[in-house]
Structure 1
Amino acid sequence: MLFDCLQMPEWCLRFGIVLSANQQPFSREEAALYTEHLRTLGLAHGIDRIGVAPATVMQRARETLHSRKSVGLHDTMQFTYRNPDRSTNPDAAVPNAKAMIVGACSYSTDTPDEPTQLSARVARYAWADYYEKLRDGLGVVTETLKSDGWNAQVFVDHNALVDREAAYLAGLGWYGKNANLLISGAGSFFVLGSVVTDAPLVVNERLVDDGCGACKRCLDSCPTNAIVEPGVIDAAKCLAWLVQKPGVFNRGYRVALADRVYGCDSCQDVCPPTVRLGITTKPTNVRAWVPILHMLNMEDAQLMESVGQWYIADRNPMWVRRNLLIVLGNIGSAEDEGVRNAIAKFCTHPEPMLRAHAIWSAARLGLHQFIPQSDEDPVVVEELKNLPELRVG
């Protein structure tokens, strides 16, 4: 019955026989046919890689999250660390879950030319909304499952599941020493997501062997030494987290931020499998850089609209401005009138957090005329006590 429905799904749905067919157990052959049908469907709708993992508790990931959380390696990061027991249990997302259909969409795009205006760098995964393509493709798979009488739910860019572990269990790749999932024959420039379902699909039974060997380029290239050992990240040092973390940006890592306003690709840009094997496309409608001075002059609503798909804590534009001000101190020129005007404006800004970071940048650029002699706010006072040296070059 199932095979016939796969051949003529519209006929099956029209006459309402799929639900009754699904009340009977799948044979191994039927399950394999249905699994392949769903995989082919996802690939046809823009997903680059698909695998199927068992929807059992991801015990290894659970133990890892608890262990790293216990020693503070997560810093204040939440996401899947918030509730490890939930984020490693697919059954908590979909009752009686049997399988996770894991999809991966590449965001490996040739780097566009750098603009001539003063600009800040954006991490590659945020050049466009790559999750939208993945969400759409997995959505088609989900609707097919539901139409066929199964319960299914999409989880893309969501804290309900540890997506890298799901992809690993689905046989899509291995964990690199930079803690990213390296997809076999393609590298790590992928966004990941899953469909959790109670359909009894054929799941992967063979994990991908480590492909890193003795290579440790990612460890050597990290600008803050955040990869404390192979596969282990100290979030308190990781720029990709620090640009998202609310509060005062750690002074010890501001210079290392360089021109980055959102994310960091350093450990992936040097990864041999990613560099050699990554799927590359010509850049279209991507935004690899953002104009610093223009964004600093935006009103709140305009600024947040311009960074729509970025994760911004509490959707507070202050954190975007904070990052932009640090970048301004790292790459701006004191001879640039626009830079001087921005520094002057934010050194007297009513928000102490922004005053503090503008003061840091003013000192870096030698614009001490804009630095106040004193301030009543403790955040700014602390900044005045720890002014950086003048930037050289």
Structure 2
Amino acid sequence: MNDAELTRRVKALAGEAGFSMAGVAPAVTPTGFARLGEWLAAGYVGEMHYIAERLEDYAHPERLLDGARSVLMFALDYRTAEPQAPQLGEGRVSRYAWGARDYHDIVRKKLYRIADAIKEWRPGSNTRCIIDTAPLLEREFAVLAGLGWVGKNTLVLNKSRGSYFFLASVLTDTPLDYDTPHETDHCGTCTACLDACPTQAFVAPRLLDASRCISYLTIEHPDLPSPDLREGLGEWLFGCDVCQDVCPWNRHSQPATEQALWPLKESNPLKLAPLFELDDDAFRRRFLKTPLWRPKRRGLLRNAALVLGATRAAGSEAALARGLRDSEPLVRAAAAWALGRLGTEAAVSALNRHSLLEGDDSVRDEISAALDLNKTPRR
């Protein structure tokens, strides 16, 4: 079959597999590659050193697949139920992570189906499937493939689908019928996403300081956020949807058809105190196949403590005192900060007791700061 027919059949198969959008771009050096280098040089990457370490691999899809000629881009909607307002002692989880399965596993199977079909329909061709786990500038290729434009919140936006979708791709060394790139910016004068960011992570439109982004801080960051950012985490236990929730184009977003993405009852929102009762084995049993496995136990319990502190969750002293005795220094440090924010008699008592036992310097510093905060009586 010719290139146009092959492209048509691949797009039809993508629709059958559950993807809501499909487009094809030539394998070229993306225009955003130079901006990626500038972004790294500006120090906006945080602790994600793996990006700089593989910088040159972002220069061209050929670095990922020998002889790459085409980049197929797909979108999978993940908007499901509406988020429920958390009560004190509960934390918010980003919409995409509400389900029982990690989206990588869900999407990867769909990509394999498409890759296998390409190799069947075009014998001798080679493919590589990617779902945000390889050095490919997916947003750039999504624009080149006509799926949408990059909004001021740095996410790909589509007029009829908003931005609540995953991007995924299949690289192939066979030529295809390429789509017209999306060239129109429909953000206009709107600054809703920039204005709403709780930690002021946007340096400028389409320029994100990841080291201030709540999604980065709760998922990728390996340590405690700097003190000036902790309060800004607010209710967010894992990820953040603020810059999407306020975007007018998301009024047009479509519900997910993939049932595995629909929320578990306990995820929207998620109770925080029980997390401190999970040892490594229990944490693995509960979260291993879900997106919340990404920060591991130490990261998620750190986040839980920070949310309890940032929201002044009365009644969480016992859970935080348990966190103060955790085997992980990171969890103990976060619990100390949170107890200091609560400032109740029980919280200060727990800090005083543990100050005599703590052997880690970073945790001792957090305990001291928390106790200093409570030397002056609160009104």
TM-score, normalization: structure 1?
0.84
Q: 2:11 aligns with which of 39, 44, 48?
A: 39
For 2:35, the equivalent position in structure 1 comes to: 64
Aligned positions of 1:319-330 closer than 5 A: 319-330=299-310
Do the aligned residues in 2 keep the contact of 1:104 with 1:134 (CA within 8 Å)? no
Q: In the TM superposition, what are the counterparts of 1:68-107 in structure 2 within 5 Å?
A: 68-78=39-49, 80-107=51-78
SS, match of residue 371 in structure 1:
helix
Given residue 141 of structure 1, which amino acid in structure 2 is its aligned partner?
A: I
Q: Say if 2:192 and 2:247, in contact at 8 Å, map to a contact too.
A: yes
Between the aligned partners of 2:19 and 2:5, the Cα distance in structure 1 is 19
1:147 matched to 2:130? The reply is: no
Question: Aligned with 1:243: secondary structure?
Answer: helix
Residues 355, 206 of structure 1: alpha-carbon distance in 2 compared, 3 angstrom cutoff: closer
Q: Rate the CA distance shift 1:254–1:200 in 2: closer, same or farther, 3 A.
A: same
Alignment of 1:260-279 (within 5 A): 260-274=236-250, 276-279=251-254
Equivalent pair of 1:77/1:235 in contact (CA under 8 Å): no
Give the counterpart of 2:291 among 301, 310, 323: 310
Residues 332-376 of structure 1, C-alpha deviations (whole Å, 9 max, x = no match):
543x3xx22212222233433222111111111121111134544
1:377 pairs with 2:354: no
Amino acid at match of 2:182: L
Alpha-carbon distance in 1 for matches of 2:36, 2:256: 35
Matches within 5 A, 1:1-393: 2=1, 30-58=2-30, 60-78=31-49, 80-111=51-82, 113-114=84-85, 118-128=89-99, 129-148=102-121, 149=123, 150-244=125-219, 245-274=221-250, 276-280=251-255, 284-286=262-264, 287-308=267-288, 309-310=290-291, 316-331=296-311, 333-334=313-314, 336=315, 339-366=316-343, 367-372=347-352, 373=355, 375-387=358-370
Q: Give the conservation status (yes or no) of the 8 Å contact 2:89–2:313.
A: no
1:193: Cα distance to partner? 0.7
The alpha carbon displacement at 1:377 in A equals 2.3
**Counterpart residue type for residue 39 of structure 1:** K
Q: Could you tell me whether the CA contact under 8 Å between 1:107 and 1:190 is conserved in 2?
A: yes
CA drift at 1:104: 0.5
- Hey, which bits of structure 1, 4+ residues long, moved more than 6 A? 390-393
Match of 1:24 in 2: none
In the TM superposition, residue 126 of structure 1 has moved relative to its aligned partner by 1.3
Q: Unmatched 5+ residue regions in structure 1?
A: 3-29
Cα deviation 1:268-322 (Å, max 9, x = unaligned)? 1100111x21103598444332221112111112213433332666x64211111
> Does the CA-based 8 Å contact 2:148-2:158 persist in structure 1?
yes
**Secondary structure, in 3 states, of the residue corresponding to 2:6?**
helix
Structure 1 residue 205 displacement after superposition:
3.3
Rounded Cα–Cα distance in structure 2 between residues aligned with 1:255 and 1:392: 18
| Residue 112 of structure 1: how far off its partner (Å) | 5.2
Query: Whose relative contact order is higher, 1 or 2, with alpha carbons under 8 Å and at least 6 apart?
Result: 2
Identity rate of aligned residues, in percent? 30
Mapped contact 1:171–1:206 kept (Cα < 8 A): yes
For the aligned residue pairs, the C-alpha RMSD in angstroms reads: 2.4
**CA distance 1:118–1:164, shift in 2 (3 Å):** same
For the residue of structure 2 that corresponds to 1:154, the secondary structure is strand
In the TM superposition, residue 94 of structure 1 has moved relative to its aligned partner by: 1.2
Report if the CA contact (8 A) 2:79-2:256 is conserved: yes
Letter aligned with residue 382 of structure 1: D
Deviations 1:99-127 (A, max 9, x none): 01101001112215457683211011212
Rg (Cα) greater in structure: 1
State the AA in 1 paired with 2:366.
Answer: E
